[in-house]
Amino acid sequence: MDAIIKPLRGKSPDTKPSDVRPGFHPAELDPAEFLAAAVHPDQPRPSRIEAEQAVQTLLAYIGENPQREGLLDTPRRVVEAYDELFQGYHQCPAEVLNRTFGETAGYDDFVLIRDMGFTSHCEHHMMPFYGKAHIAYTPIERVVGLSKLARLVDIFGHRLQTQEHLTAQLAAAVDEVLKPRGVAVMVEAEHTCMSARGIRKEGSRTFTTRFTGMFRDNPAEQARFLSMVNTPSR
């Protein structure tokens, strides 16, 4: 994972307060999707025993014998794995981004963190997809800790997803909480629901992007972001 901070550029003397976020539009997603935990403490949920019984049912459905020695502990293991793989439902994205720092010395260019690896699960087949997320934002006075954006990727990744939705959620969360001049997100991933089943095109990758503010309104900034993302690592 590379953290890149571009060199400081001088501000134009003509910059006005009203120009801080040119072309800003409110996030298009429901804020409940990217600001709060997805599971409420009082939300009705099946018990762990019921979840393990569901795994037994699936084992029987595929023709297995859930009572054979090698599968006796499988329902427990699967439920424990689900607790880890889908922990993002219980985590709050807004809390991750809420702590910011003001010691920027007038920094006014974008901050890019690229090559943040993630593994998520497709909401259509519940099969893994995995790859890298790249996020840039242009701060206004305050910046967020670099690890916080990586944590944000993990939170949304540890939920059932489509890649398009994941990309939109990352951009919307950074845009809404940090309120920067603009946000740029690129996600690239391989989907096992396409490489391990169905069409079986191993190695194919899907790319999605989302731009807000100055990145959406300025093609030159988009191009600069994409160029830096695609620069080979040393």
Catalytic residues: 122-125, 163, 191, 193
Q: What are phi and psi of 36, to 5 degrees?
A: -125, 165
Any idea what DSSP says for residue 36? S
Compute the distance between CA of residue 234 and CA of residue 232 in angstroms, rounded to an integer. 6
Per DSSP, the three-state class of 189 is strand
Please say whether the beta carbons of 120 and 128 come within 8 A.
yes
Please say whether the beta carbons of 213 and 180 come within 8 A.
yes
Any idea what DSSP says for residue 38? S
Q: Is 164 left (phi over 0), alpha (psi -120 to 50) or beta?
A: alpha
Using DSSP bridges, classify how beta strands 143-144 and 111-122 pair: parallel, antiparallel or unpaired: unpaired
Compute the distance between CA of residue 77 and CA of residue 51 in angstroms, rounded to an integer. 11
**Residue 42: both structure tokens together:** 């009082």
